[in-house]
């Protein structure tokens, strides 16, 4: 069968395999292998058999050698009485002690913190696990940065400070000089002299922050001029 070769390293001419692969196969020359005993360049063949469902990688000095190595692994996998072990994984993905077969056979060792079912679906910033069903209850990391504009990132705490700074500048520019009280728990707005500056919607927030930053910048410029 014809094997698709990856573009980018060396040749991208298809390679004609002598083995009877019955699944998707891809390969390449000059693949870089990062290893403890030193990085090296190699030819490789990657196979994705369906029965059993697994992944095989063969390597060699030539593509033919890599193909033969992968085929040998595949024959071994098919004739092996697998004995699976987790190694150091907790997600249920296992490796055969005798051949290169690996697959999710065991249950995950981690459990959903809500229903206690074994799961490796997702975990939160405190490393608590959640199954698919309970993943919607996963709390957000309070220190995770949110996007402001143009890829700039900011923590929610800093964002709230920025809102207050901008809201204050906007309120002052409208002649409201009283105490600015953030009301961010239910809905989002700032109160000043009995007036509510709404920041419930993204558009409102954008307007307040944009106008606020402009006002702050022009105040700074004015101060510099006085000096």
Contact positions vs Zn ion (CB under 5 A): 80, 82, 96, 98-99, 101, 112, 114-115, 131, 134
Question: CB of 88: closest distance to Zn ion in angstroms?
Answer: 19
Question: CB of 186: closest distance to Zn ion in angstroms?
Answer: 29
Helix (H) or strand (E) holding 225, with range, is helix 202-226
Residues 6+ apart with CB under 8 A from 174: none
88's tokens: 């150091």
Helix (H, G, I), strand (E, B) or coil at 183: strand
Question: CB of 125: closest distance to Zn ion in angstroms?
Answer: 18
Contact indicator for 103, 94 with CB cutoff of 8 Å: yes
The CA distance from 110 to 31, in Å, is 35
Helices (H), 41-155: 63-79
Between 80 and 198, name the residue whose CB sits nearer to Zn ion: 80
Nearest to 121 by CA among 102, 113, 86, 129: 129
Question: CB of 131: closest distance to Zn ion in angstroms?
Answer: 3
Q: Are strands 2-5 and 24-33 parallel, antiparallel or unpaired?
A: parallel
Between 71 and 190, name the residue whose CB sits nearer to Zn ion: 71
Question: CB of 132: closest distance to Zn ion in angstroms?
Answer: 8
Between 33 and 115, name the residue whose CB sits nearer to Zn ion: 115
Nearest to 157 by CA among 181, 176, 141, 134: 141
Between 82 and 89, name the residue whose CB sits nearer to Zn ion: 82
Between 103 and 213, name the residue whose CB sits nearer to Zn ion: 103
């Amino acid at each position: 069968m014809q094997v698709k070769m990856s573009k980018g390293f060396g040749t991208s001419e298809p390679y004609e395999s002598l083995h009877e692969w019955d699944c998707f196969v891809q390969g390449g020359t000059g693949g870089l292998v990062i290893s403890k005993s030193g990085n090296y360049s190699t030819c490789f063949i990657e196979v994705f058999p369906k029965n059993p469902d697994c992944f095989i990688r063969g390597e060699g000095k030539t593509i033919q050698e890599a193909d033969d190595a992968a085929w040998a692994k595949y024959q071994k996998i098919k004739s092996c009485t697998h004995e699976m072990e987790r190694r150091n994984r907790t997600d249920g993905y296992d490796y055969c002690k005798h051949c290169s077969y690996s697959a999710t056979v065991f249950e995950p060792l981690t459990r959903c913190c809500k229903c206690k079912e074994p799961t490796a679906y997702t975990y939160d910033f405190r490393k608590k696990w959640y199954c698919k069903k309970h993943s919607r209850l996963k709390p957000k990391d309070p220190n995770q940065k949110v996007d402001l504009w143009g890829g700039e990132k900011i923590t929610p705490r800093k964002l709230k400070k920025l809102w207050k700074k901008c809201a204050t500048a906007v309120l002052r520019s409208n002649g409201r000089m009283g105490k600015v009280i953030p009301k961010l728990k239910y809905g989002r707005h700032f109160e000043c002299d009995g007036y509510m500056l709404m920041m419930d919607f993204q558009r409102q927030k954008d307007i307040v922050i944009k106008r606020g930053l402009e006002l702050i910048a022009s105040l700074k410029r004015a101060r510099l001029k006085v000096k």
